[in-house]
Structure 1
Amino acid sequence: MHADEVVTDVSLVRRLLTGQFPQWAGLPIELVDSAGTVNAVYRLGEDMAVRLPRIEGGAKDVEKEQRWLPRLAPLLPVAIPVPIGRGRPAEGYPWPWSVYSWLDGGNPALGRIADPGVLAKDLAAFIAALHRIDPTDGPPAYRDEPLVTRDAATRDAIAKLRGIVDTDLATAVWEAALLAPEWPGPAVWVHADLSPGNVLLSGGRLTAVIDFGCVGIGEPAVDLIAAWSLLTADARNVFRATLGVDDATWARGRGWALSIALIELSYYRITNPVMAATARHVIQEVLTDHGGRGR
């Protein structure tokens, strides 16, 4: 997926464990089938996972996750990954890596969620709890910039997708989002990547949120992307009402969802079919939603 990606495999994981965590080296190791673009994940035994960054940018997240996830976990209403080991570069692998607790559950299937309204309330409860956590000394989120600073990259993605999406409508929706006033309040903790691959459900309920590589301090609208990546139009209304989102924040959230999806589709259209399908879904939801439902 990336020109600078490091290739990993089960043999490498076992060698790393043998050298640094020999107590776990004899456990079964299996590559997790994931559309993740930054980390390769291997299940270790029944209740652990090894997470190896694929690219240097992901390696920079290891220290942040090791430091902050244990502090955030007790303050959230659903489970999040808890690091239980920090690995060092070795065996030709160039970066730090992590061992985490394993979290059970399945990713939601787009368009096939049993009760989207219940999921909307669960997601709102998670986001509200995260945003309430004291942001003092927290790191900047991966997506902490004002929406306008994404203008050039978003328009470039729109140009690359001409003939693939409705680029005229996408441009109009994007320009409408840019007109929304900026967030006037203090920065808060945000997950910043609430996509289908990063939430786990069991029995139709949200049980865990994973992949905190983007986590940090930013403005709350970026977490509203869940409304278009995970929810139906009716459930979006439940989600918005539960969180009490104002018009300007909702407009920025819609802009974030569109910008991220356009850039991801233009980048991963060939190399990651699952990511591309999710991006197409989000774009369609945003374009359908604009000017009508969910406002």
Structure 2
Amino acid sequence: MHADQLRVSPETVRELVEEQFPRWRGRPVQEVASAGTVNAIFRIGDDLAARFPLQPGDVEATRRWLTAEAEAAAELAGRTRFPTPEPVALGEPGRGYPLPWSVQTWLPGVVATDEDPGESVPFAHDLAAFIGDVRAIGTRGRTFRGSGRGGDLTAHDEWMETCFRHSESLLDVPLLRRTWSALRALPRGDAPDLMNHGDLIPGNILVAGGRLAGVLDAGGFGPADPALDLVGAWHLLEAGPREVLRADLGCGDLEWRRGQAWAFQQAMGTVWYYRESNPTMSGMGRRTLARILADTRSMTTLPRTAG
């Protein structure tokens, strides 16, 4: 998926586990097929998952990143009515792999890329409950300090221009430019930062029987625009269940449209970047954009104030 992507084999993972965590020696190691773009995932026995960053980087910077992810995941664990992974250990570079890596608990369930919950009203209620639980966790005075999604929409103009340029032969770029022009202008209002999961895409959602069974990749948990987790409404739900989620959360027009804007920003990057290397992610982006464009209110009644 990335030009400089690191390769990790089950044999390498088995050796690293046995060398660094002898208490798990002898456990079966199985690579997990995933549409994820950041880590290669390996199951260790029945209850653990090892995550290996796919892109090369500085060892200390990677260690700080993984430590911050583990702290975020630990803060979220047990704070909602749905399971999220809990950090277990941090591995070190070793033979066959040059970076730190992490181990967390394994959660059962089927990812939403394989079992689409988009038409499920019970799932919509569940997702709203998860978002509400996360929002209720205190920020402890923290505010958004990142450079990714969750801060100022206009800060992403340069990236969006890159996406539009690479999407000329794939999408209706003039229409998408007009849509972004309207979405990026949505004011934040005076809503304070709230806690967000930060990446509610199908690959991070576990489903069982049309219900939410768990939420993966908790490392991005943190304070941000309250609308950020509303990306899940557009990445995961069709129109009817989407309105159920909105009603459960009591979203006003401005908050709802800013959630749409964050979903638009994320989707634009996935279509062209992963077109050949990760068709699942590229397809997710196309579907999200189609849902946004089909919602005619996004083009005709975008709110301009918090009132």
**TM score, norm. by length of structure 2:** 0.89
- CA deviations on 1:71-125 (whole Å, 9 max, x unpaired) are 2212111000011222122224232211111100012258943852111111111
1:242 paired with 2:252, answer no
- Matched position secondary structure for 1:75: coil
Which 10-residue stretch deviates more, 29-38 or 243-252? Answer: 243-252
Residue from 97, 119, 124 that aligns with 2:123: 119
Aligned to 2:203: 197
Contact 1:183 1:249 in 2 (8 A): no
Contact 1:61 1:213 in 2 (8 A): no
Aligned to 1:136: 140
1:253 paired with 2:253, answer no
Aligned to 2:304: none
Counterpart Cα distance in 1 of 2:228 and 2:190:
14
Counterpart Cα distance in 1 of 2:25 and 2:209:
33
Aligned to 1:232: 238
- The AA in structure 2 aligned to 1:207 is A
CA shift at 1:70, angstroms? 2.1
Residue from 77, 83, 93 that aligns with 1:79: 83
Contact 1:39 1:58 in 2 (8 A): no
Residue from 54, 61, 65 that aligns with 2:65: 61
Counterpart Cα distance in 2 of 1:112 and 1:182:
32
- The AA in structure 1 aligned to 2:29 is I
- The AA in structure 2 aligned to 1:177 is L
Counterpart Cα distance in 1 of 2:255 and 2:118:
28
Which 10-residue stretch deviates more, 103-112 or 260-269? Answer: 103-112
- State the superposition RMSD in angstroms: 2.2
Which 10-residue stretch deviates more, 208-217 or 274-283? Answer: 208-217
Aligned to 2:50: 50
Structure 1 unmatched runs, 5+: none
CA shift at 1:4, angstroms? 3.0
Aligned to 1:23: 23
**TM score, norm. by length of structure 1:** 0.92
Alignment of 1:87-236 (within 5 A): 87-109=91-113, 112-113=116-117, 115-136=119-140, 140=145, 142-236=148-242
- CA deviations on 1:6-34 (whole Å, 9 max, x unpaired) are 21111111111111111212111110000
Residue from 265, 286, 289 that aligns with 1:283: 289
Contact 2:76 2:221 in 1 (8 A): no
CA shift at 1:3, angstroms? 2.6
Contact 2:92 2:101 in 1 (8 A): yes
Counterpart Cα distance in 1 of 2:298 and 2:224:
28
CA shift at 1:239, angstroms? 0.8
- The AA in structure 2 aligned to 1:123 is L
Cα gap change, 1:26 to 1:137, in 2 (>3 Å):
farther
Which 10-residue stretch deviates more, 195-204 or 128-137? Answer: 128-137
- Matched position secondary structure for 1:11: helix
Which 10-residue stretch deviates more, 31-40 or 154-163? Answer: 154-163
Alignment of 1:31-46 (within 5 A): 31-46=31-46
CA shift at 1:292, angstroms? 6.8
CA shift at 1:268, angstroms? 1.1
Counterpart Cα distance in 2 of 1:156 and 1:58:
26
CA shift at 1:5, angstroms? 2.1
Cα gap change, 1:24 to 1:193, in 2 (>3 Å):
same
Cα gap change, 1:213 to 1:71, in 2 (>3 Å):
closer
- Matched position secondary structure for 2:134: helix
- Matched position secondary structure for 1:100: strand
Cα gap change, 1:69 to 1:123, in 2 (>3 Å):
same
Aligned pair count reads 294
- Matched position secondary structure for 1:41: strand
